[in-house]
Each structure stands twice: as structure tokens, then as C-alpha cells.
Amino acid sequence: MEEEGPLEQFRIHELIPIHFGSLNASFTNSALFMVISIAAVLLFLTLSTGARSLVPSRWQSLAEMSYGVVANAVKDNVGMEGWKYFPFIFSVFMFVLFANFIGLLPVPGKFTVTSHIIVTFGFAGLIFVGVTLIALFRHGFKFFGFFVPHGVPPYLLPLLVPIEIIGYFTRPISLSVRLAANMLAGHTMLAVFAGFVVALGVFGIAPFLFVVAVYGLEVIVAFLQAYVFVVLTCLYLSDAIHLHHE
């Protein structure tokens, strides 16, 4: 590698160049780590639940816990009407969770897929469009009543309806920015302080201890952000199904 700045870890480079005319569809390190994340999820879930014992092993109970976290999020926030969307929500959760954790591995050349806003926006945009379509198919034109708040004098509506509409379109932005910004900020901070460790020589022990502490925090954040992403997906789905605000 050339220079190793704290932002170097977010650089995308082409591993297998694929070009269709002006379209660059190369297989990048980002794509590679997406494949690794999916493979890791598949391996984790198939290997850990392969035994299907009544008393779960450690791996199996990990798999059951991740199922339980998402299942409870769906049940608490959407109710049983949302159960048919559980496979999608669980897949999103596992992918984001594993991409976050794989980005934390102290391996040279590692890449955090979820630190790039286009990836998280891809998910958030898909969820936004999907949830809107669900609402439209379920409620038809009544869906647009979602933007008209109840119990408000009519002369305030020209003010409140645009606000509600902006609020609706904010969802994919805030959903994607939150995840990407958390990953970006945490990893940059880790890299900056890790750089101090070498630069300060003996006194590098202070930033070293800090990095250890922040790394612990980042592990929590990696899980938490995957969880928050899924909970908000559930809330949006709940709005689409029940058609009242959160």
C-alpha cells in the first residue's frame, strides 16, 4: 500500500476490472467484502443450527439469539401482521451485523461495507420504496391521509402537510446516514489513535489503552446500529400496515 492515512481504509479499489462501455461494473474490494459477509452469515447459520439439538450448543444459541432479537423487534413494533416480512428483516439484520463486525477485524485490507453511504442508502431506499408500496397496496388512496395530521384546524394544514411529507422523505436519509456515519466515525477515530500509538513511542501506551476502550465501544456500536436499523425498518413497516404515526 502507498500511504496509510486514517481514511485509507475506506478507499475502494478494483480487484477484477469489468467494464461495459462507460459502465464500470468492476468487482471491487467492497463487493468482495459483501460476498464475505453473506458467506459468513450463511456459514454461521447453517453450521450452528445443523445439529438442531434441543439443548443448544453455544453456536446454536448464538444463532437462536440473533433470531430472537429480530423476532422480538418485529413482534413488538409491527405485530403479527408484519410476520411475513420477517425473512427480509432478518436477512438485512444479519448482513448489516456481519458487515459491521467484519469491518472491525484487525486484518490488513479489511473493508467496512456499511461505512459507505451508497451501500446503506441502497438498503434504506429499498426499504423506503418497499414500505411505501406495501402501504399503497394495503390502503390505496387512504395512504395519503397519513400526511394529514388528526385534530388540527384546517387552516394549519398547508403548513403541516409539507412538514409531514418532508418527515416521510427524511426516513431513508436518516436511516442510511446514521449507519454509515457511525461506522465511518468509529473506524476513523480508531485509525487516528492507532497512528498516535506508534508516533508517541513509549508514551504510546496512553493512546493504546484508549484504542482498546474505543474498540470495545465499537463492538457495541456495530451491534447497536444493526439493531437500530432493523427496529426503524420495523417502525416504518408498522406505519405502512397500521397507517398511523409510529
Partner 1 sequence: MTEEPQPPDLKEFSDRLRKAQGADVPDPRLSRPFAPRGMGVAFRVATELVAALVVGGGFGWLLDGWLNTRPWLFLVFLTFGFASGIITAFRAASRISAEADTPGN
At 209, list the grid cell. 489503552
Smallest distance from the beta carbon of 186 to partner 1, in angstroms?
A: 12
Rounded to the nearest 5°, which phi and psi values hold at 116? -100, 125
Map residue 20 onto helix, strand or coil.
strand
| Ranges within 156-195 binding partner 1 (CB under 8 A) | 162-164, 166-167, 169-170, 173-174, 177-178, 181-182
Quote the CA–CA distance of 130 and 75 in Å, as a whole number. 19
Interface stretch with partner 1, choices 80-88, 190-198, 199-207, 227-235 (CB under 8 A): 227-235
3-state class (DSSP) for residue 92: helix
Taking the complex as a whole, the smallest distance from the CB of residue 105 to partner 1 amounts, in Å, to 22
Applying CB under 8 A, the site for partner 1 has a residue count of: 29
Task: Report the C-alpha gap between 179 and 243 in whole angstroms.
Answer: 26
Cβ atoms 196, 209 nearer than 8 A: no
Shortest distance, position 95 Cβ to partner 1, whole Å: 19
Phi and psi at 190, nearest 5°, equal -60, -45
Distance CA 149, CA 245 (A): 9
CB of 103 to partner 1, least distance (A): 17
Q: Based on CB atoms, which residue is closest to partner 1, 34 or 119?
A: 119
Restricted to residues 68-107, the positions that interact with partner 1 (CB under 8 A) are 68-69, 72
CA distance 44 to 128: 29
Q: Cβ distance 37 to 91 under 8 Å?
A: no
User: Which one among 101, 204, 227, 243 touches partner 1, defined by CB under 8 A?
Assistant: 227
Kindly state the smallest distance separating residue 182's Cβ from partner 1, in Å.
Answer: 7
- Least distance (Å) from partner 1 to the CB of residue 196? 26
Our finding on whether 244 is near partner 1 (CB under 8 A) is no
| The C-alpha cell that represents 170 in the structure block | 427524511
| Least distance CB 129 / partner 1 (angstroms) | 16
C-alpha neighbours within 13 Å on the C-beta side of residue 143? 17
When the beta carbons of 177 and 191 are compared against partner 1, the nearer one is 177
Q: What are phi and psi of 107, to 5 degrees?
A: -120, 135
Residues 44-73 binding partner 1 (CB under 8 A) are 53-54, 65, 68-69, 72
Site string for partner 1, 125-154 (x = CB under 8 A): ------------------------------
> Rounded CA gap, 231 and 9, in Å?
29
Residues that bind partner 1 (CB under 8 A): 53-54, 65, 68-69, 72, 162-164, 166-167, 169-170, 173-174, 177-178, 181-182, 220, 223-225, 227-228, 231-232, 245-246
